[in-house]
Structure 1
Amino acid sequence: MDRLSSLPGLHLLVNLSPPYRLAILLVSTLLVAKIVSALFFRSAQKKPPRVRTWPLIGGVRKFMKGPINMLREEYPRLGSVFTVKVLHRNITFLLGPEESVHFFKAPESELSQQEVYQYNVPTFGPGVVFDVDYSVRMEQFRFFSESLRVSSLKSYVQHMVYEAENFFTKWGDEGIVDLKSELEQLITLTASRCLLGKEVRDQLFQNVSDLFHDLDNGMLPISVLLPYLPIPAHRRRDKARKQLAEIFSNIIQNRRASGKKEADMLQAFIDSKYRSSGRYLSDNEITGMLIASLFAGQHTSSITSTWTGAHLLHKQFLGPVLDEQREVMSRHGDKLDYDILAEMDVLYRAIKEALRLHPPLILLLRYSHKDFVVKNREGNQYTVPKGHVVATSPAFANRLPYVYKDPDSYDPDRFAPGREEDKAAGAFSYISFGGGRHGCMGEPFAYMQIKTIWSHLFRNFELELIPPFPEIDWDAMVVGPKGKVMVRYKRRALTALPIS
């Protein structure tokens, strides 16, 4: 006690009356609590680590080398949550099932699409998708969803089957083709028939196809930052968009005047109306939504069809797919419809695995309207500030080694019952079609389309991939195979298994 009392100032506290000592003790306790709270709060407010970049231009150089290359370089050093500055934008990446939960589940008021996808507006047109507020956009997404319900898909499959059978009649008994080019043509034909309508497919296909080509080529990397930059590609894009609006306006007016109904997405949009106002869609809205639907599906389906074929024609996993076709044929003959395609689980897994390895959209983006906290699998917490662009990458996340065994290998059996690697680490282990609030509504359509094409090919041709195996074109806006994908074919009929 003497030794303690000799400390500077402590004798004052000892000599104070009990009420004063209690007051000082309470103040001291509150002060300590405040300091501890501040330190804890500061820890909880820790921002994600940042990619080291040059001043001013920030991460532009790293992005020019390719976003996937940057992710592969920074992930081992910074982990699954980090920020890179690109010009004036801070982009925070969330890589992994645990980290991306908020990305996929957050409401629009917290993480929104509209701000980051404005570069689509010149292509899709005014008054649709990313050029309208959230409530209108949700109604428009409902129109998309209703046009892709099972009853509609069943009618679309008959168009897909017809287009595939008709397209491959032009192949001879044997030959060599660029599979990538062939499937791009066929997907455009089937999408035109199912989505754009009979009139386009029968009478205006080449004209509309050329205009879509100009629209497609008008979406460049520079378009993301400067969508209205007066360059030749943008001028051709704007001219094509205007001509498409005129073509579709005439078709819509003729359909309405005739009272004739067709089984296609165009008809679904003509018949749709807003719940909030009871108003039918305008011609311009229908045109924009048709363009958006074709853009959303055409690239994904043609790219995934090509990768599916390239991997299966390596032969290792081709046998089970052919056995499944024989077994299905033994029960249904040559018939193909929605229900029969739904039975093809082996082919489904083959397509799904191609899409895991090669998702056409390598980045998914949102804009943060408020701070939020994200926790990585190591238990570290970071606060992502308001105003950041938040990103995740299917191309990177789909190959995480702690989620998938031998993640760079093509192995459709990883999705088979008993393995199901895509479910082991959580709901967002497989994000080729996005997920959560903004999952792709066209996923069932894409699988039906790709199944139809490959079922027909496997039943009618022997196919051999001519080396080399295609590389990935990381420089494209929608990432697919680089260059040609050459295949040797020979016409033959696949024999059904005998019914036991």
Structure 2
Amino acid sequence: MDATNKFYNLGLLIVATIVVAKLISSLVMPRSSKRLPPIVKGYPLIGGLVKFLKGPIVMIREEYSKLGSVFTVNLCNRKITFLIGPEVSAHFFKAPESDLSQQEVYQFNVPTFGPGVVFDVDYSIRQEQFRFFTEALRVTKLKGYVDQMVVEAEDYFSKWGDSGEVDLKFELEHLIILTASRCLLGREVRDKLFDDVSSLFHDLDNGMLPISVLFPYLPIPAHSRRDQARKKLADIFANIITSRKCAAKSENDMLQSFIDSKYKDGRPTTESEVTGLLIAALFAGQHTSSITSTWTGAYLLKYKECLSAVQEEQKSLMKKHGKRVDHDILAEMDVLYRCIKEALRLHPPLIMLLRSSHSDFTVQTREGKEYDIPKGHIVGTSPAFANRLPHIYKNPDSYDPDRFAPGREEDKAAGAFSYISFGGGRHGCLGEPFAYLQIKAIWSHLLRNFEFELISPFPEIDWNAMVVGVKGKVMVRYKRRELSVD
């Protein structure tokens, strides 16, 4: 009997100990383990990888409607937590590098940009290199770049006939690379080495494939051509840098700005660093400008009221300034600016922005629900989806440049980070002013000198590209004329 009571009492003690331990555990358990974001349904081991590979935007659209603005997708051994909308993404854009880092998630760029620049250096050095970009894109520099942009556009379109049919996408892509060569890579490249350098950049571009994100050093032909092109470009720019230094010549281009840049300790940039920074600059700007200028044209030709509005603006500016176009005159083109901005809202070239989380943080949805995002997650947001949220933008899938007009300004009504085509916060795109000036310079020339008609179907989105752009050709019929100021 005594033995039975002992076992009974011992059993009660064990049960009581477990209950107390559970209670204590629940009280001291980190909040993040109780308020984790909902998880996208998937398969054992691979999680939501199948859904993700079918198309990130399709997956985000489906899961947002089911799970809300914060959710996690398991991709094998990695977890990506998406924050969709300005209410939950402020920390994503404002957090310091020590909390949310770019470096780990963008390592696949290192073979393309080269060693010692951007994502191959620690944050303090990267910040100094971003300062070099800022200095190369300050207003005094931009004014000189605009003069070169205008000359390039005039020269390029002077070769068109009085009338004809062209693939607008091809023409704008080619002009953008010519303009970028002049403003960024320098006179020597534009005048003498354009074909060689353009071909090498093509190999670099084609060496950045979806598989490269996971395996950037995989021994495949595309990566081999990428690495050879990177080496040849380094040799070309080393020769140009040496030639400029020996001749004591200074040019108004980004190449010269990088050559003249110095770190805080007084150390000058190396030839390898200059080459890497130039490659990064061209990669950041070339696709965005060519894609956005093409979408802008397609929408203007589809919506005649928008086309009429930008043409009237050009007439007004020509009455005021004559045929002259410079930095300050481009800055007056508010209607054209809104047309470009709306095309970019609907079609941001980068569909996802990613960071690596080094600390726990909490977000609150607009419905008031809080989620704790654990350290170690990849954190992402999507400009392509967030830019079309119906509680921010009226008729979000419609092309409506006036949504940015004074008095309406839908992108500001919901607060910061409602419009994220150029990112924002600590890592906002440094080349945004350059891109707008470049696209304005091209389209102001086209609007003043040609009549257009879109003769192919309105283009579709090429979701399969690394940088999401325009699918297929955009055929237009043009006729040369001069915009009357009467």
Contact 1:101 1:428 in 2 (8 A): yes
Map of 1:301 onto structure 2: 289
User: For the aligned residues, what is the CA RMSD?
Assistant: 1.4
Map of 1:16 onto structure 2: none
**1:85 CA displacement:** 1.0
2:248 pairs, out of 251, 254, 259, with 259
Alpha-carbon displacement from aligned partner over 1:246-283 (angstroms, at most 9, x marks no partner) = 000000011111111100000000110001x2100000
2:235 pairs with 1:246: yes
CA distance in 2, matches of 1:495, 1:184: 28
CA distance in 1, matches of 2:266, 2:31: 51
Q: What is the percent sequence identity of the aligned residues?
A: 73
2:123 pairs, out of 110, 134, 149, with 134
Contact 2:32 2:373 in 1 (8 A): no
2:173 pairs with 1:184: yes
**1:40 CA displacement:** 9.3
**1:326 CA displacement:** 0.1
Higher alpha-carbon Rg = 1
Moved more, 414-423 or 373-382: 373-382
The letter of the residue matching 1:67 is P
Contact 1:193 1:264 in 2 (8 A): yes
**1:56 CA displacement:** 1.9
1:69 pairs, out of 58, 61, 79, with 58
Map of 1:356 onto structure 2: 345
2:359 pairs with 1:338: no
**1:89 CA displacement:** 1.1
Stretches of structure 2 lacking an aligned partner (at least 5 in a row): 1-19
Contact 1:192 1:200 in 2 (8 A): yes
CA distance in 1, matches of 2:305, 2:111: 45
The letter of the residue matching 1:64 is L
Map of 1:23 onto structure 2: none
Alpha-carbon displacement from aligned partner over 1:209-253 (angstroms, at most 9, x marks no partner) = 000000000000000000000000000000000000000000001
**1:59 CA displacement:** 2.1
Contact 2:32 2:372 in 1 (8 A): no
The letter of the residue matching 1:364 is L
Map of 1:413 onto structure 2: 402
CA distance in 2, matches of 1:479, 1:43: 35
Map of 1:461 onto structure 2: 450
Contact 1:44 1:381 in 2 (8 A): no
Alpha-carbon displacement from aligned partner over 1:426-468 (angstroms, at most 9, x marks no partner) = 1100000000000000000000000000000000000111131
Contact 1:177 1:488 in 2 (8 A): yes
Contact 1:359 1:395 in 2 (8 A): yes
CA distance in 2, matches of 1:43, 1:247: 52
The letter of the residue matching 2:416 is A
Alpha-carbon displacement from aligned partner over 1:29-85 (angstroms, at most 9, x marks no partner) = xx9xx8698289648841100000111222221122110000111111000000001
The letter of the residue matching 1:243 is K
User: How high is the TM-score relative to the length of structure 2?
Assistant: 0.94
Alpha-carbon displacement from aligned partner over 1:4-27 (angstroms, at most 9, x marks no partner) = xxxxxxxxxxxxxxxxxxxxxxxx
Map of 1:286 onto structure 2: 274
CA distance in 1, matches of 2:32, 2:43: 27
Stretches of structure 1 lacking an aligned partner (at least 5 in a row): 1-30
Instruction: Assess, with a 3 A threshold, how the Cα gap between structure 1 residues 40 and 64 changes in structure 2: closer, same or farther.
Output: closer
Map of 2:99 onto structure 1: 110
CA distance in 1, matches of 2:32, 2:236: 59
CA distance in 1, matches of 2:300, 2:165: 17
1:428 pairs, out of 389, 406, 417, with 417
CA distance in 2, matches of 1:87, 1:128: 30
1:90 pairs, out of 73, 79, 93, with 79
CA distance in 2, matches of 1:289, 1:232: 25
Structure 1 runs of 4+ aligned residues shifted over 4 Å read: 34-37, 39-45
2:44 pairs with 1:55: yes
CA distance in 2, matches of 1:50, 1:39: 24
SS of 1:313 mapped into structure 2: helix
CA distance in 2, matches of 1:35, 1:285: 55
SS of 2:79 mapped into structure 1: strand
Contact 1:307 1:481 in 2 (8 A): yes
Instruction: Assess, with a 3 A threshold, how the Cα gap between structure 1 residues 357 and 223 changes in structure 2: closer, same or farther.
Output: same
CA distance in 2, matches of 1:368, 1:289: 26
CA distance in 1, matches of 2:367, 2:37: 14
- Between the two proteins, the alignment pairs up a number of residues equal to 464
